[in-house]
A and B are shown apart, each in its own frame.
Chain A
Amino acid sequence: MRTRGNNMVKLLLIKERMVELYNKNEVYITPAIKLMLALITLGMINTGLGYFALFNNILIVLAAALMCSFLPYSGILYVGMLFCMGHFYAIGVEALLVGAVAFFLIYILFIKFIAKEALVLAVLPLLFALKIPYVIPVLMGLIATPVSVVSLSCGVVAYYVIYHIDQNAATLSTMSADSAIQKLRIIIDAILNDKSLILTIIAFGLTMLVVYMVRRMQIEHAWTVGMISGYITSLIILLIGDLLFDLEQSILGMFVGIIVSFGITKVLEFFLFNVDYSRVESVQFEDDEYYYYVKAVPKISLSTPQKKVKKINAQDKKTYPY
Chain B
Amino acid sequence: MLNEEKIRIITKMVSYEQNIGKKNFAIGNYFKSDYIVWQMTKSFISVTIAYVVCLGVYFLYDFEVLIQDIYQMDLVQFARDILWKYIVCASIYMLLSYLLHITRYQKVRNSLKSYYRSLNELIKIYKKERMERIR
Contact = CB atoms under 8 A, between A and B. Distances in A.
A104 B54 CA distance: 11
A147 B100 contact: yes
Interface size class of A (residues with CB under 8 A): 20 to 34
A105 B53 CA distance: 8
Contacts, number: 52
B10 A281 contact: no
Interface stretch (B25-33, B42-50, B72-80, B112-120): B42-50
Contact of A112 (B15, B49, B100): B100
Interface of B: 2, 6-7, 10-11, 14-15, 18, 43, 46-47, 49-50, 53-54, 57, 60-61, 63-64, 93, 96-97, 100
A108 B14 CA distance: 33
Interface stretch (A30-38, A207-215, A290-298): A290-298
Interface string A282-301: 01110100101010100000
A101 B60 CA distance: 13
B15 A283 contact: yes
A154 to B, nearest CB: 13
A185 B61 contact: yes
B100 A113 contact: yes
A102 B54 CA distance: 9
Contacts of A53: none
Interface in A97-119: 97-98, 101, 104-105, 108-109, 112-113
Contacts of B57: 97-98, 101, 188
Nearest to B49: A108
Given A105-B50, A109-B50, A184 B93 contact: no
A58 B61 CA distance: 37
Contacts of A109: 46-47, 50, 93
A95 to B, nearest CB: 13
A285 B61 contact: no
A147 B97 CA distance: 12
28 contacts: A97-B57, A97-B60, A98-B57, A101-B53, A101-B54, A104-B53, A109-B46, A109-B47, A109-B50, A112-B97, A112-B100, A113-B100, A147-B100, A181-B63, A181-B64, A184-B60, A281-B11, A281-B15, A283-B11, A283-B15, A284-B14, A285-B14, A287-B6, A292-B7, A292-B10, A292-B11, A294-B7, A294-B11
